Chains A and B, each alone.
Chain A
Amino acid sequence: MANIIKIRNISKEYNMGVEIVHALRDVSLDIDKNEHVAIMGPSGSGKSTLMNILGCLDTPTKGLYEFNGLNVSKMNDNELARIRNKEIGFVFQTFNLLSRSDALHNVELPLIYAGVSSGERKRRAKEALEQVGLGDRVTHKPNELSGGQRQRVAVARALVTRPSIILADEPTGNLDSKSGDDILNLFRELHEQGNTIIVVTHEKYVAEHSRRIISIKDGLVESDVEIENSRVPNGMREELTA
């Protein structure tokens, strides 16, 4: 069984001075290789905290987190940075590209921290940009690209290290519905190519594009269901029926 993520009874508490906030209480879940999962919940549900822990940006207060068999919950900052670099590709709601660098350098960035040589970096970054359909926008800076294009640069950046999972936090939140559908469609393709994708969202519509929906509420897993017929993005459906 190819278990990428194994979480057992994790809790996260924030000390807010006067009171302790329990963002997560005793959450357990497993995510396998090549799954397409949506983590869904309203704001304040603890889904962002879960996403930060899954993404190794943060560690749980209690409980066990194993990533590819490695105990992440006990790692120090630099070890976590290494896991983020090699194993996780992030896609953020606000794209989070470096505004002064062109698309190519943005995509190259994680490879720099992975110690890949310059020529190899350029080649792989270009390849990733072509994969998301931006082969002709390599030298454009983020402010010369549309929102959808920016998010595709971000997806290319997430793909370029060939990570174990792609973790997307509200990837369509800042996009119009057409561009949003494009991104969801891209995720679907990437999933079909064998990638493991985790999308964190509060939108039912977005969550329904995945194969499994984990609902979080008040720091607890409310439901965890497989979807037989996941939604096909609008644009796609027309293509399929045509």
Chain B
Amino acid sequence: MKSYYLIAAVAVVAFVALGASSFLNSMTPYVTTFAEARAAKQDKVQVPGDIVKGKTTYDKKAAALVFYIKDPDGEEMKVSYRGVRPGNFDQADRVVAIGRYGNGEFKAEQLLVKCPSKYQAER
């Protein structure tokens, strides 16, 4: 009987190890300034920013979107994103870019466009 509890214990330990390891591998820190984004050790970070109006370019043929975002310190950062520009990108003022910093720009794998939508109305 006791040996079966040992199986359970081994299974639990294995699952905990699996969970912890996957967690550390796939966590995406949420940083607020670009200095933190550059310094991040992880493969991916997510960083929010206000879109700088008038500096966005989109190359339809190459499906390459390049734009600039500004952090609370007022620093501007170039963001490049390959893929079709998100449908509501034009209306957005703010965006959360998920990706990593390298070669003077932030390469976004995913863009979360923050819209004024709410689960319910603003109070």
Bind each other? no
